[in-house]
Amino acid sequence: MTLEEAQKVVDQWIKTTGVRYFNELTNMAILTEEVGELARIIARKYGEQSFKEGEQDTDLAEELADVFFVLICIANQTDVNLSDALKKSLDKKTRRDKDRHLKNKKLRS
């Protein structure tokens, strides 16, 4: 699925199953909540925290998808084409960081 297709699928889901978009501020709060759930899994699976009883079955992919879903919602309701935005971001990073990471001794093992 392309980013354009994902934006269309989410828009269709929102307009049928979801009834309507939450406002931008609500979606920002939901995004923060979803990122927190993702952070909890990362901290326990890859960090030094341990899972609490009953948390072991958490699904990293599901939490990443939840974050992506809300990001798509925010993009849709603010008329942002994520494909175009990502291309621009990559171009900017390529120009800005052309040699930066290659010269970073901390990144070399």
> Of the candidates 67, 68, 64, 77, which has an alpha carbon nearest to the alpha carbon of residue 15?
77
Query: Where does the chain show beta strands of DSSP type E?
Result: none
Buried b (16+ CB within 10 A) or exposed e, 74-100: bbbbeeeebeeeeeeeeeeeeeeeeee
Q: What is the pTM of this model?
A: 0.87
Q: What pLDDT, in 10s, does the model give residues 27-86?
A: 999 999 999 999 999 999 999 988 888 777 789 999 999 999 999 999 999 999 999 999
Q: Lowest mean pLDDT of 61-65, 88-92, 93-97, 104-108, name the range.
A: 104-108
Q: What is the CATH number of domain 3-84?
A: 1.10.287.1080
Rg (CA), the chain: 18
Please check whether residue 13 is in contact with residue 79, taking contact to mean a CB–CB distance below 8 angstroms: no
pLDDT at residue 19 is higher than 80: yes
